Structure 1
Amino acid sequence: MSSPAAQGKAEKVPGVRFYIIRNVLQEKAAGGSVGPGEKGGIPIEAIQAAEAEFHKMSEDYPDWVQSLIDELLDNYRRCIDTPELRHEKVAVIHDIAHDMKGQGGTFGYPLITNFGDSLFKCTHKSEECSDNLVELIKAHVDGMKAVISGRVSGDGGEI
C-alpha cells in the first residue's frame, strides 16, 4: 500500500499552515500595478532620469559637503572657545560625522567616508571631551578639507 503523497495527494500535517506573502516592495516599485506573483518593472526612462540626477549630485558633492565641513570646523572652534559646551559640540560633530560616513563613498569620495567613520567612532562618547579628542577632531576636519579642496575622488591614488 502506498502513501497518499506517493499517489500525488498532499498529506495534511496537523498544526502547519502555509502563507503566501505579498512582495509589497515589488508592487511599490512597479507603481502598485503588480499583483502577487507577477513580475514588475521600473520604466527605463525613470532609471535613466535617476542616473542623470545622481551623476549631477556626484559632480556637486564637493560643493555640497563643504558646508558640512564648515559646520564641523565651527563646532571644533566652539570646543576650543567654550570648553563648558564641549560635550554638546562633540555630540553635534558626532552626528555630522555619521552623515558624512554614509555619503562620501556614494558620491565617489571614499576618503570622506573613511574620515567620517573614524571621526564618528572617536566622538561616540561626547562626555569624554579631552583636549586630545579636540585635536583629533581638528585632524579629521583638516583631512576632509584637503580631500575636498583637492577634489581627491576614489582612494586617492598612490602617495
Structure 2
Amino acid sequence: MTSGRRGGRKTGKPDAPKVTNFGDHAVIVPKNLLRKAWARNSAEGLPDPVADAERALAALSGEFAGWMDSECERLDTARKAVRAKGFDAETRQALYHAAHDIKGEAATFGFPRAATAAASLCRLIERTTDTRRIPLTLVDQHVDAVRAIVREHGTTRAEIVADALTARLREIVDAFLKSENGGRLPDDDEVLSPPTVPRADGP
C-alpha cells in the first residue's frame, strides 16, 4: 500500500520527488539518483565517471588555448563580414553563432571571462529588434574584448582588466538597449520574480 501524503511529505515511493505546497506555488525537489549510482560504483570498485571526465579534461587542457584562438579567429572573421556587408540574415547568424559557441565553451576551456564578454554580444544581438541599428563600434568592442581576454589570459592583472572590460560592456549594452526601447531593458532583467510586498489594493 502506498502511504502517499501531500504538503511536502514523501509520497511513499522511494524515488519520488519531495513536494512542498505553498499558497500560490509548489516547490519540487527531485531525488539525486546520480549520488546513489556513484556510491554504488565506489562500493563495487567500478570506475568513477566524474573522475574519468576530469582526467579526460586534464589531458586535453594543453589544447584549450589553441581551440580558443581558433574560436577567436572565427569570431573576428564574422565581425569583418558584418563590417563589409552590414547586418543581414547571413552575417547576423555567423556573428551570433561564433559568439554563442565561445559563450558555451570558454568557461570549460578555462576562459570564463571570455564567455562573459561573448554572452554580452549574444545578448546585444538577441535583444535588438533591428540589428542594423547596432553600432559597429559596439560589435568591435565585444570582439576585441574577447580576443584580448584570451590573449592576455594568465598575465599579471589579466583578471582585473577582464572584469573591468566585461562590466563596461554590460553598461554600454544596457544603455543601448534602453535607448532602443523607450528607456527600458527589453529582457527579463526587470521581471526576475514577482514582488514579495503585498499591493495596497490587495492580492
Counterpart of 1:101 in structure 2 is 103
Q: Kindly provide the amino acid, as one letter, of the partner of residue 51 in structure 1.
A: E
Q: Note if contact 2:65-2:109 (Cα within 8 Å) is conserved in structure 1.
A: no
Cα distance change, pair 52–135 in 1 and its aligned pair in 2 (3 A)? same
CA shift for structure 1 position 129: 2.0
Q: Note if contact 1:91-1:126 (Cα within 8 Å) is conserved in structure 2.
A: no
User: Percent of aligned pairs with the same residue?
Assistant: 19
Cα distance change, pair 126–75 in 1 and its aligned pair in 2 (3 A)? farther
Counterparts of 1:147 and 1:44 in 2: how far apart (Å)?
A: 37
Counterpart of 1:54 in structure 2 is 57
Q: Note if contact 2:78-2:98 (Cα within 8 Å) is conserved in structure 1.
A: no
Q: How does 1:1-159 map to 2 (within 5 A)?
A: 19=13, 21=15, 26=34, 40-41=40-41, 43-44=46-47, 47-83=50-86, 86-124=88-126, 125=128, 127-130=130-133, 132=135, 134-152=136-154, 156-158=158-160
In our comparison, the structure showing a higher alpha carbon Rg is 1
Q: Note if contact 1:115-1:143 (Cα within 8 Å) is conserved in structure 2.
A: yes
Equivalent residue pairs, number: 137
Q: Under a length normalisation based on structure 2, what TM-score does the superposition of the two structures give?
A: 0.52
Q: Kindly provide the amino acid, as one letter, of the partner of residue 96 in structure 2.
A: H
Q: What SS is found at the alignment partner of 1:151?
A: coil
Q: Note if contact 1:87-1:127 (Cα within 8 Å) is conserved in structure 2.
A: no
Q: Kindly provide the amino acid, as one letter, of the partner of residue 66 in structure 1.
A: D
Q: Under a length normalisation based on structure 1, what TM-score does the superposition of the two structures give?
A: 0.64
- The two structures, once aligned, show a CA RMSD in angstroms of 3.7
Q: Note if contact 1:115-1:140 (Cα within 8 Å) is conserved in structure 2.
A: yes
CA shift for structure 1 position 151: 2.8
Gaps of at least 5 residues in structure 1 are 1-9, 31-38
CA shift for structure 1 position 137: 1.6
Q: Note if contact 2:76-2:143 (Cα within 8 Å) is conserved in structure 1.
A: yes
